[in-house]
């Protein structure tokens, strides 16, 4: 791995980001336009995220399942707003087995249609409700401006789908799962987020309401990290999904879907926490939490054996630990590589350290080093990892607050927004004509807030009906 200097993170964030993805061996270029190959280090990061959220999905009463990758085109067309929203992004199979298909098949952009088709077969009575399923899979949405992890034609995610007897139950479900996503982001990824509703033009195609959780990268651009949708009865009507309620009447169930964890989260981790030296990975989901680097050690000698003993003891308490035993690299080259890969803690041990029964512990976040007695590691390492998480979250929150501006009129902040990005809280009358004016500055309404600090709309003189967050997005 080359020690070549990375692009300046402050002057050329986009180039820095791309270099990190490939140099840190998270991903590689694929031979298919708009796609990437996720390498083992990146995939382990994704699997760690999955493990956390999957446990919460199951704990909140959902069951995992699997639905087909290929969806009949007629299914997609059943919900008018749905097909209108996804049409430009669809990949369609027209031939298979050497023959033209009678009906084209759409490569899954999302699974509402095929899952709701099956729900219609399974749901007959109020006793069948609520029905709550989730699947982990990949989806395809043809992407013209790809960026590794943040925007790719194929990406991995989870998608949950539920059916309920009442609107109120469905609304509670959508809000509950949004809170689970916020918990994942803040308590595991150390990323502060803003939660709100999407505008009518930005909400999911076919939904009544879309809730979103948004983060902002170090370059001031917004990233939609995930969404939770109240579909209400729109798709139920389209797929003739009816059940007999407790009054003996036929009714349509109220539906939700929520897709709040995708491989885009890896992009968020890179862009929120990274620094000039490479990745800085949140300790709770880092593939390697501790790397042990021997100094002046040989295979099987006392230093080597002690390093393996330390590794075993840390693994016993659930710390993901690796021992870098490569003898063709100097310690300095190893330090550079593991720093680039964002490993939270590095333990260095050599003959002199062994004599004093200590190690040198280096912290990735603040680049500090200190000596630590070996018998203290099993208590010190977990504490340091938790402290690092807390410090990462605080630092990210500080950056978010520094780029958060509250300004009345687009005429006052438009040029600043276009040139320097950042997020702008202001008022909006909910008129789409005012929202369209943001395109001049390459910006969008990221979400509507529950607050009402502003009296008038950012673009006209009408009263504001909701505060909004405005920003430029990936």
pLDDT band at 39 (very low <50, low <70, confident <90, very high): very high
* pLDDT tens column, 218-263: 999 999 999 999 998 989 999 999 999 999 999 999 999 999 899 9
265 vs 285: CA distance, rounded Å: 12
pLDDT at 452: 93
Q: Does 302 have pLDDT greater than 80?
A: yes
Cα(205)–Cα(85) distance, integer angstroms: 5
Name residues whose C-beta falls within 8 Å of residue 262's C-beta, 6 or more positions apart in sequence. Answer: 155, 156, 157, 158, 226
The first and second tokens of residue 152, run together, are 């790719």
Q: What is the pLDDT of residue 85?
A: 65
Identify the residue with better confidence: 83 or 409.
409
- Give me the pLDDT at residue 25, please: 98
Whether residue 81 has pLDDT greater than 70: no
For residue 88, the model assigns a pLDDT of 79
Q: What is the Cα–Cα distance from 10 to 5, expressed in whole angstroms?
A: 14
Residue 443 — pLDDT band, cuts 50, 70, 90? very high
As a whole number of Å, the end-to-end CA separation of the chain is 29
**pLDDT digit string (tens) for 129-186?**
999 999 999 999 988 788 999 999 999 999 999 999 999 999 999 999 999 999 999 9
Whether 303 and 295 have beta carbons less than 8 Å apart is answered as yes
The reported pLDDT for the residue numbered 77 is: 85
Contacts 24+ apart (CB under 8 A), 116-121: 116/161, 116/235, 116/236, 116/238, 116/239, 116/241, 116/255, 117/75, 117/239, 118/67, 119/161, 119/163, 119/239, 119/241, 119/253, 119/255, 120/239, 120/240, 120/241, 120/242
Both tokens of 79, joined, read: 């919900």
- Bond preceding residue 346 cis, omega within 30 of 0: no
- Hey, what domains does the chain have and what are their CATH numbers? 21-63+120-273 (3.30.930.10), 290-390 (3.40.50.800), 404-471 (3.30.110.30)
State the pTM of this model. Answer: 0.95
């Amino acid at each position: 791995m080359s020690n070549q200097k990375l692009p300046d993170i402050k002057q050329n964030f986009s180039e820095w980001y791309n270099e990190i993805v490939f140099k840190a061996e998270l991903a590689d270029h694929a031979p298919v336009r708009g796609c990437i190959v996720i390498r083992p280090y990146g995939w382990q990061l994704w699997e760690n995220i999955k493990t956390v959220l999957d446990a919460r999905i199951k704990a909140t009463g959902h069951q995992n399942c699997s639905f087909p990758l290929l969806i009949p085109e007629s299914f997609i067309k059943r919900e008018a707003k749905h097909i209108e929203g996804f049409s430009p992004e669809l990949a369609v199979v027209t031939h298979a087995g050497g023959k033209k298909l009678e009906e084209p098949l759409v490569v899954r952009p999302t699974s509402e249609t095929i899952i709701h088709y099956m729900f219609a077969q399974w749901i007959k009575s109020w006793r069948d409700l609520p029905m709550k399923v989730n699947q982990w899979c990949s989806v395809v949405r043809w992407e013209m401006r790809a960026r590794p992890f943040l925007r790719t034609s194929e990406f991995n995610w989870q998608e949950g789908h539920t059916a309920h007897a009442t609107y109120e139950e469905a609304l509670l479900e959508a809000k509950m799962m949004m809170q689970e996503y916020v918990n994942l982001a803040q308590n595991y990824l150390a990323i502060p987020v803003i939660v709100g509703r999407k505008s009518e033009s930005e909400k999911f195609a076919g939904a009544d309401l879309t809730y979103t959780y948004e983060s902002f990268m170090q370059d001031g651009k917004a990233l939609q990290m995930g969404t939770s949708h109240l579909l209400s009865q729109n798709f139920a009507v389209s797929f003739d999904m009816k059940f007999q309620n407790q009054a003996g009447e036929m009714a349509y169930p109220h539906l939700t879907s929520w897709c709040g964890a995708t491989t885009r989260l890896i992009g968020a981790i890179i862009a929120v926490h990274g620094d000039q030296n490479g990745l800085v990975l949140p300790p709770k989901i880092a593939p390697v939490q501790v790397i042990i680097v021997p100094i002046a050690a040989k295979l099987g000698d006392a230093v080597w054996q002690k390093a393996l003993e330390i590794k075993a003891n840390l693994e016993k308490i659930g710390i993901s630990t690796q021992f870098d035993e490569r003898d063709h690299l100097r310690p300095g080259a190893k330090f550079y590589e593991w720093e680039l890969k964002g490993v939270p803690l590095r333990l260095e041990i050599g003959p002199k350290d062994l004599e004093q029964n200590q190690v040198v512990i280096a912290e990735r976040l603040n680049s500090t080093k200190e000596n630590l007695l070996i018998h203290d590691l099993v208590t010190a390492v977990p504490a340091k990892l938790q402290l690092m998480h807390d410090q990462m979250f605080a630092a990210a929150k500080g950056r978010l607050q520094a780029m958060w501006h509250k300004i009345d009129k687009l005429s006052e902040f438009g040029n600043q927004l276009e040139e320097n990005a950042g997020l702008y809280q202001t008022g909006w009358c909910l008129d789409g004509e005012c929202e369209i004016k943001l395109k001049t500055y390459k910006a969008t309404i990221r979400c509507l807030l529950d607050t009402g600090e502003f009296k008038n709309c950012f673009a006209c003189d009408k009263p504001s009906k909701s505060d909004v967050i405005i920003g430029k997005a990936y």
